[in-house]
Every structure is written in C-alpha cells, then in structure tokens.
Chains A and B, each alone.
Chain A
Amino acid sequence: MEEMIVKAVQLSRVYGDVRALDGVSFEVARGEWVSVMGPSGSGKTTLLNILGGLDRPTSGELWINGKDMTGLSFKGLTHFRRETVGLVFQQFYLVPYLTALENVMLAQYFHSMTDENEARAALEAVGMGERLYHLPAQLSGGEQQRVCIARALINQPRLILADEPTGNLDEANEEIVLDIFRRLHAQGHTLIIVTHDAQVGSMADRLVVLDHGRVSCSRNEGSYLPNETSPRREARPVNVF
C-alpha cells in the first residue's frame, strides 16, 4: 500500500463571501508528482498555500507527513514550513542583496545551521555552480528560478511545492527547470506543482484539476485540456496511472 504524504478531506477556505476552496479532497503518495491545474481563481494557489502551511483551511481535514495540520499553532506552522516543505515561486523571490549562494544559505539559516559546501553543491546540482557569487539582479530569470529551486531543496524537504515555476521563464529556461523537476522526481521527491502550462501538467504522475474551488478532475482521463493553456505550446494528453 502506498504511503500517503498528503491527505486532504473536504478542505474549504472561505474569504468573506468567497469560497476559494469548497470541499476539496485528495491524496498524494510519497514520491508522487502531482500537478494542480485550473483556470484563474479556481483556488490553485489557495490550495498550495494551505499545503505549504502558509494559510489555514476554514474547515476540513489536512494531514501532511502524518501530521494534523488543522491543529497546528502559529509556531507549529512556522516549524512545519521550515522542516517539511520547500517552496518554489513564480516570482523567484530572491533576497536582492544576497548572492545566489547566500540566498540558498538563508534557508539553511532559518532551518538550522548554514553549510556553505552543501549550499554550493545544491547550486551546482541545478547548474548554477558558475554563478554562486552573483546577485539576483545579475542573473537571468531561469537562473534565478534555479537558485529558488536550490533554496527549496537545501533542507531536504519531504514535500516540494511550486507555484507556476515556469510562468516567468522563456522556453529554453523552462526546459532547464522542468528537467530539474524531472530529476527530482526520479530521485523520489514528492512534487506538487501548480501550473497553467499543459506541458508541465502533462509531466506529472497525476493531475488535479480545480474549478471554482472544487476538484473537477483528479486524474488524467485524456479529455482534460485546461481552458488557459500556455501561449507558447499546445497542451498534450497527460499520461498518468
């Protein structure tokens, strides 16, 4: 029996009158790559924020790595983010006055202790070994995203969450980043990636499609093509299961 790292039961998130998530249930197995797709406003980022311990569900149950997330305090959530997840953002969010190496070490610093060699190795693993001492402003978008991925991986998180990781990248850089995700997946990392890009979605083991805060499709049936596909490429069928 597969070990589930994420188990969500009837998750809801309400902001005022808006139901961003409305009874979402799904599971993610350890080592699985799940893409979350859906139109804008469908609740993808809200779901990712809740899975990342950045936000709390209004109702429902959420278990991550065997821990009941709904019962965690503010401190507990901070600890969870530090210990369990690695976040990759569309906007990269690198600290502008720190070098690539220091940006990776920043995550180490908040987690436990810094280890420059380890941070260097993480950057080398994403092909950034030659750009260790460059500031974010001196890096291309793809390079910044690779630093962001190295930073997300440095503390060996159980779960990697990425929000539109290729959304700001050109085709060449998108390919590089996706290749990194492929390798991570092959190494057994659990990935949950929110994306609009059908190609990115197609690379996942499983696709969770959200619509108006609900799961409209939880696996590839060969029929789903998102309304908002990447402007650069055609969506192709997803081969999962």
Chain B
Amino acid sequence: MFLRILSGSLRHQRRRLAIAALAMVLGSSLVSGLLNLSGDIGGQVGRELRTYGANIVVLPRASSVLVGSGNLEFGEVAAEQTLPEEILVEAREVEGVMGLVPYLYSVVDAGGQAAVLAGVDIPFAREINKWWQVQGKWPQADNEILLGARAAEVLGASAGNSLTLTYGKQKETLKISGVLRTGGAEDEQIIASLRAAQNLTGQPGQIGLAMVSALTSNRSLDEIAQNLRTRISGRGEVRTLTQFALAEKTVLNKVRLLIGLVAGLVLATGALTVAGTLNIIVEERRTEIGLMKAMGAQNRRVAGLFLFEAASIGLAGGVSGYVLGVALAFAVSRTVFDATITPAPLGFPVTTLIALTIALFASMVPVQKALAVDPVKTLRGE
C-alpha cells in the first residue's frame, strides 16, 4: 500500500517534483562530472604536464677517477659512463612510469664544427615532447636526423641537406629530415636515432641517460623514483626533478579545490530547491496529512511518506545526474584535455549517495512541518 500511496503521490505532483529533481540532476551531474574528472583529472593534468618534460632522470652511476701525481691530488675527472639499454624495459614496468626516452650524448665533428649529437628514441621523443616544432619531417629511418635550429644556422644547413658526422675514426653521412626548434638546448644539438648514435660512437646497446615521465596522480614522485631504484638495482642513479613535481602537485591541488567549491555550491543550491519544493508540497497537502493523522496514522508513517518522496527526488536526480555527469566529463575531457576518460568506478554510488543524502537532509524541515500539522485545524480548513 505504501508503494501505491508513494507512486500516486509522485504522479500527482510530478510537475512540482520534476523541478526539484531537475535541481538535483544539475547538482548531481556536476558532482558526477567533477568526480569522474577528478578521478581522472589528476591523470589528465598530469599527462598534460608530462608532455612538457620528464620529472625523473636515470643516469649512469657517478664514477670518477682521482687524478694526481704522487701525494699531490689534482682533483676528480668524471669517467664517461653509460647504462645498458635493457634498463629501459625494466623501468617501463614500474607503476607510474608513463614514458621513457633514452638519450646517448656524444660530441661529434659536424662539418668541421664540434657539435652535440643526441641519440634518442625518435618515436618516444616525439610522443613526450609535443611542443617540439619541426620544420620539415621527423626522421623516419636511422640515416635521418633532426638538426637544432641554431646548429643549422651555424652549419648553414637546412632540411633535405646531408651532414657528415665524425666520431673518432667513425664517419657517417646522414640526411637532415627537419630543423628542430624547442627554445632549449636541443636547438644547438643534432638529434639522431639512438641506433645511429650508438653505431657512430661505437656504443651499441648503451645509453647515456633516460628521461622518465612519471604520473604522480596516484603515488608520489619519490615513491616512483624509489621503485625505479629498486628495479634497476644499483645499475644507475635515479634523480627526481623536484621543482617540477611540486609545481604539478600545486596545480592539481588547486584544481581539486576548485572542483570541491563548485560542487559544494551547486549541491547547496540543489538542497535549497528540494527543501523549498517539499515545503510547498507539505503546505498544499495539509488536508491530506490532517486526514491521515485523523485516521490514526503514526508520525513515522507520515514522515516515511515524505522522506521517501524526498528520496525518490534524490535517487532520480542522482541517477540522471550521474549519467549526465559522465557525458559532461567526457565532453570536458575531450575538449580541454584532448583525451578520453574512464568513468570512476565509485562515481555512480558516490553521486547517488550524495544526491540521496542531500535530498533527505533537505526534507528535514518540511517533514517536521508535516508532523506538526494539527488534524483538527486542517480539517476545519484553518
């Protein structure tokens, strides 16, 4: 019978209740959208920030040779060190590591000028350094290189030319597929494929360092760095670029704070709308409430009816809001972050629970009002 009363009552007041439910839909959709984005926004923002560079670097273990004569010490001279390339495979398996670009730096002779040759994994470098501007094409083969913009000026070379590089007795002529402009050190370098650099410098299977791009939305940078250290177990040195990590954390925290504030305000508005609507409904149904009380309805039954009506508003608003919120999150994610989100697993229960709690909370005053109805007065038309 309770369901008959409830469904009849909901049907009877569907227009008014629809307005309250709509307010809850709007509030819940924002909560759901923000929850989904918040769950994924850490990742989204992190990934966005990651495209601007690495936050961990893996270097060969620092080793130096003490140079001196007899008891006289001249100081330390760093010995040229490399890392085995296999480290990359192991490092990629560490959780939180998004991307990893190996570098092999060498100083070579380029057309009679000393220049830094950076051997990199070209596809990875392209993926992780989205802001690099290339005039011409990215190298497609090991015999193609990118020439930094300043180096190109000095060497008087441009895309399409060939450049002969000499390292010791090794000599290679490579094709300049494009001119690179980054605004950084790369502008003065020659970027070749890792394989080409390894072959030219006679260091097959070796890398000079690896720039690691780690996602810090779920775990701290230090934790990822520590996991990396454990993984490569002493074969290299892992250092974090802390300044960058801190900046990233600050941005994420501010985004989350903003999300929380907006969600709070929208939900408060939703709660006020529900409370207002239920208040009007109680006012309009005073006679009905008075009749129920006159027939001996206990307070809990009268309260139950209005609480379930409020819960229905909350539930309808929560469920519809969740769906709308996921769509919103998808749209925002696509337009702002140019990516697709995965709906947060807890998004549905959390959104529905929040909507339900708020609707029930908002119904407290109207329910009190309903319980205070005096059947004698209302049935007399007062």
Partner-B contacts on A (CB < 8 A): 45, 49, 52, 54-55, 75, 78-83, 87, 89, 91, 93, 95-98, 102, 105-111, 114, 151
Contacts and interface: CB of A to CB of B under 8 A. Distances in A.
Top 5 nearest A-B pairs by Cβ distance?
Answer: A82-B296, A97-B12, A97-B8, A81-B296, A109-B1
Interface in B291-306: 291-299, 301
Contact of B291 (A49, A95, A105): A95
Given A54-B376, A110-B301, A97 B294 contact: no
Given A93-B379, A105-B1, A109-B2, A52 B294 contact: yes
A89 B379 contact: yes
Contacts of B301: 109-110
Contact of A55 (B5, B8, B376): B376
Interface residues of B, number: 25
Interface in B324-376: 375-376
B376 A93 contact: no
B287 interface: yes
B170 interface: no
B182 interface: no
Nearest to B378: A93
B376 A49 contact: yes
B296 A98 contact: no
Nearest to A52: B294
Contacts of B290: 93
A108 B294 CA distance: 13
Nearest to A50: B376
Nearest to A74: B299
11 contacts: A52-B294, A54-B294, A78-B296, A82-B295, A87-B294, A93-B287, A96-B12, A97-B9, A98-B5, A109-B1, A110-B292
B169 interface: no
Contacts of B1: 102, 105-106, 108-109, 114
Counting chain A CB atoms within 10 Å of each CB, which of B12, B287, B297 scores highest?
B297
Nearest to A111: B296
Contacts of B11: 97
A91 B290 CA distance: 13
Contacts of A89: 379
A108 to B, nearest CB: 7
B8 A93 contact: no
Interface string B180-204: 0000000000000000000000000
A167 B294 CA distance: 20
Contacts of B292: 106, 110
Nearest to A79: B296
Interface of B: 1-2, 4-5, 8-9, 11-12, 287-288, 290-299, 301, 375-376, 379-380
A105 B1 CA distance: 8
Given A49-B376, A102-B1, A106-B1, 19 more contacts: A54-B376, A54-B379, A55-B376, A81-B294, A83-B296, A93-B287, A93-B290, A95-B5, A95-B288, A96-B288, A97-B8, A98-B8, A102-B4, A109-B1, A109-B2, A110-B297, A110-B301, A111-B296, A114-B1
Contacts of B288: 93, 95-96
Contacts of A108: 1
- Secondary structure of the B contact surface, majority rule: helix
A80 B293 CA distance: 11
Contacts of A81: 294-296
A2 B354 CA distance: 63
Nearest to B291: A93
A32 to B, nearest CB: 23
Contacts of B5: 95, 98, 102, 106, 109
Contact of A106 (B287, B295, B298): B295
A102 B8 contact: yes
A188 to B, nearest CB: 23
Contacts of A78: 293, 296-299
Contacts of B294: 52, 54, 81, 87
B380 A45 contact: yes
A110 B295 contact: yes
A69 to B, nearest CB: 14
A54 B296 contact: no
Contacts of B376: 49, 54-55
B4 A98 contact: yes
